[in-house]
Structure 1
């Protein structure tokens, strides 16, 4: 009898466990937001297909190929947008490098992203060409990531022009203390990268996973923390939390003021990474266009702090000087668009109208001379470093910015001014699905 009673008890326990698991999975179906935050990685893959980001052995992580969510999509190469067409005699390829502000995280539709809009505007102006603009932006990337992104992913598509847009992520990466942990590869910020598909078996059980996430014992399978681990010396998140709770300055920021932190962690790594990227691209004999970082301040955000606004302004001023020193072109977007809140969703990421305006300004800067269609590095002889140097911006004796090598000069020479840039602001991207959800939603 005792044996039979034990079996009944075991059966009852199994029934209760199964019932609780079914109930927990039913909770996941109450809303997309709840599902996105509490579902397992396997459940996310089953519903949405390929994830937005994947681990990468050299870069840490990249945007994943084949990702689709609503009107957003990645092509087979993993870049946001349509498939990259084969090279033809009419091809003119442009690549854009940066973080979420290049990826265009402020818009859900990939057709509203600035690289897509730039392709359209350039195609209309140069109908004799097959214009292709590759969106090489990846959310969260710094200049160090973009340097690796160029070397390991983008360069193989041999773009004739590379547009670089960076600023706020490198500024955030300077919020590291002690200053000895501030490095050009930002290893004081990103201490390790992970494969989100690898996790403990018990996390497959919703009845255990959901309370564990709510209690903070594990992170959401849809969290950026599943991709990388922030270092303990990275204080940007603490600064944000203090601002949200209205207690800034507190803790470390009482003893180490922001001004001191930004002074000791200056923007030299930002500039050295940009310089390395420019040199790498020029070695291929192709062109670089640097773009200063535009933003609009919003109260309560990190960049609303005067120390950070000024630090971003200084980064932009140094970028202008670096462009002159390297003899490459710079479009001063910061002086043109900063402060216009109607162009941004959060003060940093452009909305659809802002992306259209940005694409139009960049396109206008490239209208001075038609590209030499079909002269992609995929079809041309390998270029030496000397050739790359000859193809950089010409001296003031050539006012139209036309290179000595006919047809190779693409970007219009844009004279940068050493003027103060209007203040800037911060925020988060507006892309859903396999993106980070900052706070857990309420389970009702």
Structure 2
């Protein structure tokens, strides 16, 4: 004997209820999609790129900014378009680094130290037949590993007359990850933000509104490996890797005929930012600054010791620090002034014209 089935009269109401429920859910889904903000969702609630809206994966470089942003050039850097061939009498200065070079505050490219540096240098060259072009190649989050690759694959082709290297902070993080590797592969991972990892949140606005959208992915989510254990101290080998990367760029730039200047990184006082969590960062930055000083003493690069000068204090630095390493526009103006003063003594073209002013 077979299993008795429900009579047709009973199945019809069940089907009607199911269809009604489906229609209601579909209507609710459409309502939430049309106005996600009214239900606590950002407009880009279903985009994995929403967490890193300024960045995208780049071959060989891990990531750069998205060129779709009007403030970004085709190569993925903030500011003017990628420079072409140098004109006659142009002295080209490349500023290599991370966010402390790029900008480091919300003022845009015109609040960066490279912008102020170009504005400050050119008046000295007026009437000399020469001019200065400062190219900002800082990119937020980059370590010396990314800058090293970019130098050999692209930056050196710009044929700079002067190369400023202002790195120290971001290379501390790889030293805090377990299983240190000198290529930073224990810390970095290929760009990865898969929509499938977000499950129903990637497809249903209604589910996201009811359950609450998951945390928005960040740049670190895309390029940094999860930290699965703690380390007792900064990996000493990381200090050597930092030195090697900077030295590799500096030696190649020198061989190409450029003057190289290594710029130490000033940090905020403990009175301003005194969290115990920052102590490893303070230690690592101090060690990296010492490596820059050592390289200058050993190889003859120009040392611009902003860290030491900042300790002496300056009115433009009063209240300029936004966090441990980033400064506002006044702080970047101070950097440009300090760098300019050092170049007036140690970079031959500027030292020559500066004597006439």
Q: TM-score range by the shorter chain?
A: 0.7 to 0.9
Matches within 5 A, 1:330-341: 330-338=303-311, 340=317
Which residue of structure 1 lines up, in the alignment, with residue 15 of structure 2? 6
Which residue of structure 2 lines up, in the alignment, with residue 56 of structure 1? 58
> How far is the alpha carbon of 1:266 from its aligned partner?
5.0
**Structure 2: tracts of 5 or more residues without a match:** 1-8
2:229 & 2:160 partners in 1: Cα distance? 35
Which residue of structure 1 lines up, in the alignment, with residue 163 of structure 2? 162
Change (3 A) 1:354 1:208: same
Which range is displaced more, 347-356 or 19-28? 19-28
1:335 & 1:117 partners in 2: Cα distance? 21
Poorly superposed stretches of 4+, deviation over 6 Å: 196-201, 407-410
2:324 & 2:318 partners in 1: Cα distance? 7
Q: 2:327 aligns with which of 308, 331, 350?
A: 350
Q: Which has the higher helix share?
A: 2
> In the comparison of the two structures, how many residue pairs are matched?
334
Matches within 5 A, 1:196-275: 202=200, 203-209=202-208, 214=213, 219-221=215-217, 223-233=218-228, 235=230, 256=232, 261-262=233-234, 264-265=236-237, 267-275=239-247
Change (3 A) 1:209 1:288: farther
Matches within 5 A, 1:44-443: 51-68=53-70, 73-86=71-84, 87-127=86-126, 128-177=129-178, 181-194=179-192, 202=200, 203-209=202-208, 214=213, 219-221=215-217, 223-233=218-228, 235=230, 256=232, 261-262=233-234, 264-265=236-237, 267-297=239-269, 298-301=272-275, 304-305=278-279, 308-338=281-311, 340=317, 342-368=319-345, 402=348
> How far is the alpha carbon of 1:27 from its aligned partner?
4.0
1:79·1:134 contact (CA, 8 Å) conserved in 2? no
> How far is the alpha carbon of 1:351 from its aligned partner?
0.4
1:226 & 1:198 partners in 2: Cα distance? 15
Q: Secondary structure at the match of 1:270?
A: helix
> How far is the alpha carbon of 1:303 from its aligned partner?
6.3
Which residue of structure 2 lines up, in the alignment, with residue 436 of structure 1? none
TM-score (ref. length: structure 2): 0.80
1:43 & 1:187 partners in 2: Cα distance? 23
> How far is the alpha carbon of 1:147 from its aligned partner?
0.4
2:303 & 2:222 partners in 1: Cα distance? 33
Change (3 A) 1:59 1:301: farther
1:173·1:186 contact (CA, 8 Å) conserved in 2? yes
1:193·1:228 contact (CA, 8 Å) conserved in 2? yes
> How far is the alpha carbon of 1:158 from its aligned partner?
2.7
> How far is the alpha carbon of 1:25 from its aligned partner?
5.6
Change (3 A) 1:67 1:11: same
Q: Secondary structure at the match of 1:290?
A: strand
2:263·2:303 contact (CA, 8 Å) conserved in 1? yes
Q: Deviations over 1:63-87 (max 9, x none)?
A: 222414xxxx212332111234543
1:191·1:231 contact (CA, 8 Å) conserved in 2? no
Change (3 A) 1:30 1:264: same
Q: Deviations over 1:388-420 (max 9, x none)?
A: xxxxxxxxxxxx665xxxx6999x9xxxxxxxx
**Structure 1: tracts of 5 or more residues without a match:** 236-251, 369-399, 413-444
Q: Deviations over 1:126-178 (max 9, x none)?
A: 2343432222111111111110122233233332222111111112221123x
Q: Considering only aligned residues, what root-mean-square deviation do their CA atoms show, in Å?
A: 3.4
Name the larger-Rg structure.
2
Which residue of structure 1 lines up, in the alignment, with residue 3 of structure 2? none
Which range is displaced more, 318-327 or 261-270? 261-270
